[in-house]
């Protein structure tokens, strides 16, 4: 980057730094005294030796101005409560080059300082207005085209910019997942919604590159490339040297990423369009041509602070601030415009002020537009549910030939087999659903040739090959990032998390990313998936906390997530059908909890009775979301609410309670844990004289609290009411584990208290 002319003299320390940067530009242009070169033709280089043509430069410069004046507008109108977001893009306007040199069909997952990128990408389709669309988002208007007023996000459905919300690296795994999915589609014959040679773009800051979620994405990109598998992701590290107030050590990004095997490094000067354009072009062309993970180290700066509330003068020296402000990329762009003869001083200042007027005018219009003022409308895109369509899809059975090809013959169809235990019925259902949905993929740790730790996926790899059933590296964050990528490309992923305790390592991929996408895109984007998790306690001979985790709270707290937990084989098959239909029809994210201790359970009351074996349900039978299973519905003396392992325990306890007290006991298997069917809970509680909740999870924040709340809020809190729950502790090893979770005898004893 060429040095710019000296700036105006140092100002007082209490001056608004946004105004300083604004004034700097105006005074720099007015004070420019160089001699312009002959104006280049549109197709000629803007400056000698540059890959950027005059036509490229003029449009890129306009995109920079859009970004800058949106920032300046936000700082002014925030204090008037007309704008509600001030994390700006000033200093990062060079990312407009990435937008110009890529396509609008290249899915983009953007850093929040992406105003220049967005302004430039808006050029890709006619009739779109980056200023007004952005102003509506800044104003939290319900007419905001991407989020409908739910958040200030960079995003656009027609421009393939998937919205992120103040991302700190959590978007990097799904960006890589999307890149891998672009290539995976070809292997399974899936039609992509974008061109086959698309790449995924992902931008982030230098500080964010240190985050665990970023490092797992880089590692997986390298792991993929090491195996010579295509992964066309362009990681754009916008290096401004600071994260809020924490400085990145000089040279850290280059040193850390220049020599990573399998992650191809490119550098570009994002402060100088003339210099940086060809550098960015080289990185983009390399990524598209080689289909390899590519790391673009884009030099940027950060002026005007982290956000409007960041008064840098309180923690940063005045001299340092002046030096940073002197590196403003708009000053360099102004110099290029004047030096090349593309614009004179008056024309340049007129353009600058015209963009200011345009942004403020758009903001005033946006302020007059409707805001979200209805709770139902706020929540509408969060958890869409169309019951009739879901039921029809779940019961759809028009794939008989494919089923026969998978199972071998009519006699071998699962519904023609004798009753089986839970693990086998899940396995049969998975084969069934893979025949029904050719776009389904199942992946995770040990799921392929081994068939999973508990053989639940046995045979799937042989039947559907490595393109649809495959092992991943040992990294739950990346497993769920891959799932989102496949979902973005129109597939139906079924990621497996090997144990519930392992989900907590990667919770934010579901909480902050997958489940938020429909909400923050106003239903325009979605992440359909069914996440299978081996769960809960009661394993014998193998365990400790990490293999007997009963913390369901971390799942139930995620807005929009569907959580189901079958306790028997027929329910397991029907629930899977419904979850896949929810994903297919409504784009829902579902968590399917498989009780490990019930996988192989055959007996209920005594050894050899076979009463926990079930027949495979006909292929056109599914389960309504929230629908419970009721045992002994005529009983009215006591109702026991439970799920998972608690169901067979409650059934055994019910027999003892009847013998001891003479009560008729109704047992309700809730099956669906989020959302809880509060109406069903209230109905059963109203029918019965006494209420008992059996929750194998922990006392604090467990499912049982939600059940009791539903009972009390329905007006049944005055009835005798108790719960049997696990203790607030981690699960110990061996026999000690059974001291901290409920047992049959605990249920019987608590029922006696109700007497």
Per-residue pLDDT reduced to its tens digit, 30-78? 999 999 999 999 999 999 999 999 999 999 999 999 999 999 999 999 8
* pLDDT at position 1 over 70: no
Q: Which pair of tokens denotes residue 426?
A: 């899940």
570 pLDDT above the threshold of 80: yes
Which residues fall within 8 angstroms of residue 10, CB to CB, at 6 or more apart? 318, 322
CB 421 within 8 A of CB 599: yes
Helices (H), 595-731: 646-661, 678-687, 703-713
Tell which residue, 397, 621, 369, 591, has the closest CA to residue 476.
591
Lowest mean pLDDT among 1-10, 333-342, 620-629: 1-10
Instruction: Give the C-alpha separation, 235 to 540, whole Å.
Output: 46
Confidence grade of residue 5 (pLDDT, cut at 50, 70, 90): very low
β-strands 246-247, 242-243 pairing: antiparallel
Name which CATH class applies to 381-598.
alpha beta
- Considering the segment(s) 17-378 as one domain, its CATH architecture is 3-Layer(aba) Sandwich (3.40)
**296 contacts 236 by C-beta, under 8 angstroms:** yes
Confidence of residue 314 (pLDDT cuts 50, 70, 90): confident
The fold of 629-754 is Rossmann fold (3.40.50)
- First-last CA distance in the chain: 83
Q: What is the structure's pLDDT at 315?
A: 87
Q: Which residues pair with 242 in a beta bridge?
A: 247
- Per the CB < 8 A criterion, the answer to whether 164 and 110 are in contact is yes
Residue 545's pLDDT band (cuts 50, 70, 90): confident
The pTM (predicted TM-score) of the whole model is: 0.95
**Tokens encoding 400:** 């008989």
Average pLDDT over residues 653-669: 97
CB count within 10 Å of CB 734 equals: 11
Distance separating alpha carbons of residues 95 and 118, to the nearest angstrom: 9
One fold for both 381-598 and 629-754? yes
Domain-wise residue ranges, the chain: 17-378, 381-598, 629-754
Residue 540 token pair: 């014998």
The tens digit of pLDDT for each residue in 455-499 reads 999 999 999 999 999 999 999 999 999 999 999 999 999 999 999
CA distance 428 to 414: 6
Q: Give the lowest-confidence range in 99-113, 297-311, 357-371, 690-704.
A: 297-311
Least confidently predicted of 162-176, 493-507, 679-693: 162-176
Query: Are 109 and 202 a contacting pair, CB within 8 Å?
Result: yes
404 CB-near residues (< 8 Å, 6+ apart): 410, 413
pLDDT band at 2 (very low <50, low <70, confident <90, very high): very low
């Amino acid at each position: 980057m060429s040095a710019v002319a000296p700036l105006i003299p140092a100002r007082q320390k209490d001056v608004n730094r946004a105004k300083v940067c604004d004034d700097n530009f105006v005074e720099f242009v007015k004070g420019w005294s160089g001699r312009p070169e002959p104006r280049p033709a549109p197709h000629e280089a803007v400056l000698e030796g540059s890959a950027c043509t005059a036509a490229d430069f003029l449009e890129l410069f306009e995109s920079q101005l859009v970004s800058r004046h949106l920032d300046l507008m936000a700082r002014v109108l925030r204090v008037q409560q007309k704008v509600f977001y001030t994390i700006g893009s000033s200093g990062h306007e060079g990312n407009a080059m990435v937008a110009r040199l890529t396509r609008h069909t290249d899915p983009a997952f953007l850093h929040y300082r992406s105003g220049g990128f967005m302004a430039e990408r808006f050029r890709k389709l006619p009739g779109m207005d980056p200023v007004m669309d952005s102003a509506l988002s800044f104003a939290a208007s319900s007419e905001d085209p991407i989020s409908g007023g739910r958040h200030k996000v960079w995003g656009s459905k027609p421009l393939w910019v998937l919205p992120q919300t103040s991302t700190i690296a959590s978007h990097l795994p799904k960006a890589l997942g999307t890149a891998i999915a672009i290539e995976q589609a070809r292997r399974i014959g899936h039609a992509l919604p974008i061109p086959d040679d698309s790449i995924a773009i992902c931008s982030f800051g230098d500080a964010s590159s240190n985050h665990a979620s970023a490092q797992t994405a880089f590692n997986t990109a390298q792991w993929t490339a090491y195996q010579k598998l295509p992964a066309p992701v362009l990681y754009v590290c916008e290096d401004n040297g600071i994260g809020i107030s924490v400085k990145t050590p000089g040279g850290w990004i280059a040193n850390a990423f220049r020599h990573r095997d399998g992650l191809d490094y490119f550098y570009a000067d994002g402060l100088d369009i003339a210099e940086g354009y060809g550098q960015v072009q080289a990185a983009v062309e390399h990524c598209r041509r080689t289909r390899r993970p590519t790391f673009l180290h884009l030099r940027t700066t950060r002026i005007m602070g982290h956000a409007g509330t960041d008064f840098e003068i309180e923690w940063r020296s005045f001299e340092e601030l002046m030096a940073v402000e002197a590196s403003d990329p708009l000053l360099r762009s102004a110099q290029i415009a004047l030096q090349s003869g593309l614009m004179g001083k008056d024309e340049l200042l007129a353009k600058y002020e015209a963009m200011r007027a345009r942004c403020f005018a758009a903001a005033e219009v946006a302020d007059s537009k409707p805001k979200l003022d209805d709770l139902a409308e706020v929540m509408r895109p969060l958890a869409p549910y169309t019951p009739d369509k879901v039921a029809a899809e779940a019961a759809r059975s028009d794939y008989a030939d494919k089923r026969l090809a998978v199972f071998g013959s009519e006699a071998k169809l699962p519904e023609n087999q004798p009753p089986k235990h839970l693990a086998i019925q899940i396995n049969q259902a998975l084969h069934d659903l893979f025949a029904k949905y050719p776009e389904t993929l199942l992946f995770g740790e040990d799921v392929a040739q081994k068939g999973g730790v508990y053989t639940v996926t046995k045979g799937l790899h042989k039947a559907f090959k490595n393109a649809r059933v495959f092992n991943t590296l040992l990294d739950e964050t990346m497993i769920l990032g891959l799932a989102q990528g496949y979902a973005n490309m129109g597939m139906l992923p079924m990621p497996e998390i090997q144990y519930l305790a392992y989900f907590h390592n990667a919770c934010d991929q579901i909480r902050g990313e997958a489940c938020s996408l429909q909400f923050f895109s106003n239903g325009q984007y979605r992440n359909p998936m069914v996440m299978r998790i081996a769960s809960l306690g009661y394993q014998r001979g193998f365990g400790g906390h990490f293999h007997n985790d009963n913390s369901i709270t971390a799942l139930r707290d995620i807005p929009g997530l569907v959580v189901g937990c079958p306790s028997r084989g027929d329910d397991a098959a029907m629930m899977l059908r419904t979850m896949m239909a929810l994903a297919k029809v409504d784009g829902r994210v579902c968590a399917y909890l498989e009780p490990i201790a019930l996988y192989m359970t055959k007996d209920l009351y005594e050894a050899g009775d076979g009463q926990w074996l079930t027949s495979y349900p006909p292929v056109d039978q599914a389960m309504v979301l929230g629908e419970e299973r009721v045992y002994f519905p005529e009983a009215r003396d006591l109702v026991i609410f439970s799920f998972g392992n608690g169901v067979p325990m409650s059934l055994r306890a019910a027999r003892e309670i009847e013998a001891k007290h003479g009560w008729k006991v109704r047992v309700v298997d809730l099956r669906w844990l989020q959302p809880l069917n509060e109406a069903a809970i209230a109905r059963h509680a109203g029918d019965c004289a006494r209420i008992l909740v059996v929750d194998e999870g922990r006392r604090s924040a467990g499912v049982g609290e939600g059940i009791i709340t539903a009972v009390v809020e329905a007006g049944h809190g005055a009835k005798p009411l108790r719960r049997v729950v696990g203790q607030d502790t981690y699960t110990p090893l061996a026999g000690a584990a059974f001291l901290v979770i409920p047992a049959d005898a605990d249920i019987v004893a608590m029922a006696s208290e109700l007497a």
